[in-house]
Chain A
Amino acid sequence: MKVFRDRIAAVKPLLFAACVMPLAWLIWDALHDGLGADPVAALEHRSGDWALRLLLVTLAITPLRRLAGRAELVRFRRMLGMFAFFYACVHLAIYVFVDLGAYWSVLFADVVKRPYITVGFAAWLLLIPLAVTSTRGMMRRLGRHWQRLHRLVYVIALLAVLHFLWLVKADQREPLLYLAIFGALMLLRVKSVRELGVRWGTSYS
């Protein structure tokens, strides 16, 4: 008797476990004084890193399907996207409740006055409708509008990268690397490049 319908279904629990790992690791470090001198900054940076990484991994699914010729990879996309949203929520919650703490009302001034917080907060807000409409039922109900709505993820990923880029003091190498990955993922969606990719894919398969 088969436990899983197919390979994708079998890999899903593993992917889920992998996506939980960064959080488990963060909690472990927090409980074992492993977050360094400024634990709040470490919590913020690490949760933010994972939100951004998972967002980019989610964006990599479409080009990967084409390049690898495996359309079924799309079945991982919702879980990855939801985890990106989850880490974005953790990131924001740490900022508001742990870092600002008693000064939480500063958030409103920050959102208006600090461009890096404005774009970061906007990215989180825009993720909400995508998370809410990620169910099969909502996909069916929204029909062709669903895809149009979910193209928002391109804007969100760009805002998330800008959020990172605008907060660093001088060393922009890491955020620029994320920007380059985002740029590459966008380029792979451009028609001509896509066709090129498909041709490569077929010639080597």
Chain B
Amino acid sequence: MRRNLPTVRSSQITPEPVYRGRRECLKALGIGAIALATGCESGAAPDAVAGKAADEPTQGKVLPIAERGKYAPADPMTRYKDVTGYNNFYEFGSGKGDPAQTSSAFHAHPWSVEIAGHAEVTGRFSLEDLLKPHPLEERVYRMRCVEGWSMVIPWAGVGLGDVLKRFKPTSNAKFVALTTVNRPAEMPGMRSALLDWPYREGLRIDEAMHPLALLAVGLYGHELPNQNGAPLRLVVPWKYGFKGVKSIVKIEFVEAQPATTWNELAPEEYGFYANVNPDVDHPRWSQKTERRIAGGGFNVFGNRTPTLPFNGYSDQVASLYAGMDLRRNF
């Protein structure tokens, strides 16, 4: 037994073929989008995602998902093999195919996370203890990479804020700093000094407490593969993908804005906030549109789609930045 997750009766878990069949059925009836629009909750239409169904996952333990459907977009999802075969995780190499190729020697279990800084409860906690009180949720989020491509990914995880609150951050906790594991022996990309290892990211405390911010442990209902940040990673869907620090070993409550890896490397290109914003271009390329990686087969035309402010999550998060100049605080 590697992970001690909340007990969910096996009868509560929808078997994969059943939920897949349900999705096909919804698709056939064309009611996926309608179910969403009418605010149909998790029990009734757990996978009510319009468009193409995805490939079968091929690896990892099946996770007991307690709740589905919150915030799900109408966009078709990205295939499992694309989510897991094409991503940035420089610790495993700088090519987007590298992580899938070079991460097999990585040991994601056992795992523990150090909680430090301005909080009443600090110390080192096993992943199991960290997650135990929280039922797992599936959240289908858009993921916009700062490079100009995007995916739609069904993550499994728990609210970051819910986890953080248990450690009772004090009033000095203005920011949260998160750090990736530092294991060059298992992560061949770390042997070159491309980035200042270990990878560090951070959020303002109100961003971290926002219900959209997710600590993910899985995707497509299965445990995270190594290349996607196993066993624990951050997902902040309204920010560029590089904010989503992977294989987290440390979470620290801090008073000052923490130094973050890409921001330190090129501060004029990668801001601390890194909110998805079509009106603020990367100095070297436009951020007005993105290439959506979704669906399958020979599908090269018409993938380009406009990029939305806050990646389409304005209604939920724009108020966090009221009164801020987003051109300066990019």
Per a CB cutoff under 8 Å, which of A98, A102, A103, A113 touches B300? A98
B305 CB to nearest A CB, Å: 10
| CA of A170 to CA of B284, assembled, Å | 13
| CA of A113 to CA of B296, assembled, Å | 33
Per a CB cutoff under 8 Å, which of B79, B96, B289, B301 touches A98? B301
Given contacts A30-B298, A101-B304, A102-B304, contact A115 B293 (CB under 8 A): no
| CA of A39 to CA of B85, assembled, Å | 13
| CA of A39 to CA of B302, assembled, Å | 12
B225 CB to nearest A CB, Å: 14
Q: Is the CB of B302 within 8 A of A38?
A: no
Verify if A37 is at the interface (C-beta below 8 Å from B).
yes
Which A residue's beta carbon lies closest to that of B189? A171
| CA of A170 to CA of B193, assembled, Å | 10
Q: Is the CB of A114 within 8 A of B304?
A: no
Residues on B with C-beta less than 8 A from A167 are 284-285
B73 CB to nearest A CB, Å: 19
Most B-side CB within 10 Å, residue of A31, A38, A110: A38
Q: Is the CB of A33 within 8 A of B297?
A: yes
Q: Is the CB of B286 within 8 A of A170?
A: no
Per a CB cutoff under 8 Å, which of A30, A99, A113 touches B291? A99
| CA of A100 to CA of B299, assembled, Å | 14
Verify if B135 is at the interface (C-beta below 8 Å from A).
no
Residues 101-120 of A, flagged 1 when their CB comes within 8 A of B and 0 if not, give 11100100110011110000
B163 CB to nearest A CB, Å: 30
Given contacts A37-B82, A101-B304, contact A31 B298 (CB under 8 A): yes
Residues 43-86 of A, flagged 1 when their CB comes within 8 A of B and 0 if not, give 10000000000000000000000000000000000000000000
| CA of A39 to CA of B294, assembled, Å | 11
Per a CB cutoff under 8 Å, which of A33, A99, A101 touches B298? A33
Q: Is the CB of A101 within 8 A of B301?
A: yes
Q: Is the CB of B284 within 8 A of A116?
A: yes
Verify if B194 is at the interface (C-beta below 8 Å from A).
yes
Verify if B147 is at the interface (C-beta below 8 Å from A).
yes
Q: Is the CB of B296 within 8 A of A33?
A: yes
Which B residue's beta carbon lies closest to that of A116? B284
Per a CB cutoff under 8 Å, which of A40, A114, A166 touches B303? A40
Verify if A144 is at the interface (C-beta below 8 Å from B).
no
Chain A contact residues: helix, strand, loop or mixed: helix
Most B-side CB within 10 Å, residue of A106, A114, A169: A169
Q: Is the CB of A101 within 8 A of B302?
A: yes
Verify if B265 is at the interface (C-beta below 8 Å from A).
yes
| CA of A169 to CA of B90, assembled, Å | 11
Residues on A with C-beta less than 8 A from B302 are 101-102
Verify if B97 is at the interface (C-beta below 8 Å from A).
yes
- Chain B interface size range: 20 to 34
Verify if B256 is at the interface (C-beta below 8 Å from A).
no
Verify if A41 is at the interface (C-beta below 8 Å from B).
yes
| CA of A13 to CA of B192, assembled, Å | 43
Q: Is the CB of A166 within 8 A of B304?
A: no
Q: Is the CB of B85 within 8 A of A103?
A: no
A20 CB to nearest B CB, Å: 21
Verify if B94 is at the interface (C-beta below 8 Å from A).
yes
Q: Is the CB of B293 within 8 A of A37?
A: yes
| CA of A30 to CA of B297, assembled, Å | 9
| CA of A170 to CA of B149, assembled, Å | 17
Verify if B330 is at the interface (C-beta below 8 Å from A).
no
Q: Is the CB of A37 within 8 A of B85?
A: yes
Residues on A with C-beta less than 8 A from B147 are 169
Verify if A36 is at the interface (C-beta below 8 Å from B).
yes
Verify if B86 is at the interface (C-beta below 8 Å from A).
yes
Residues on B with C-beta less than 8 A from A40 are 291, 300, 303
Q: Is the CB of A170 within 8 A of B304?
A: no
Which A residue's beta carbon lies closest to that of B97? A36
| CA of A100 to CA of B304, assembled, Å | 7
Q: Is the CB of B304 within 8 A of A103?
A: yes
Q: Is the CB of B300 within 8 A of A171?
A: no
Residues on A with C-beta less than 8 A from B8 are none
With contacts A33-B298, A98-B301 known, what are 5 further pairs, Cβ within 8 A?
A: A33-B296, A37-B85, A37-B96, A40-B303, A43-B300
B residues within 8 Å of A by Cβ?
78-79, 81-82, 85-86, 90, 94, 96-97, 147, 149, 194-195, 265, 281, 284-286, 288-289, 291, 293, 296-304
A-B contact pairs, 24 of them (CB 8 A): A30-B300, A31-B298, A33-B296, A36-B82, A36-B86, A37-B79, A37-B86, A37-B293, A38-B149, A38-B291, A40-B291, A99-B304, A101-B302, A101-B303, A103-B304, A109-B286, A110-B286, A114-B284, A114-B286, A115-B284, A170-B90, A170-B195, A171-B94, A171-B194
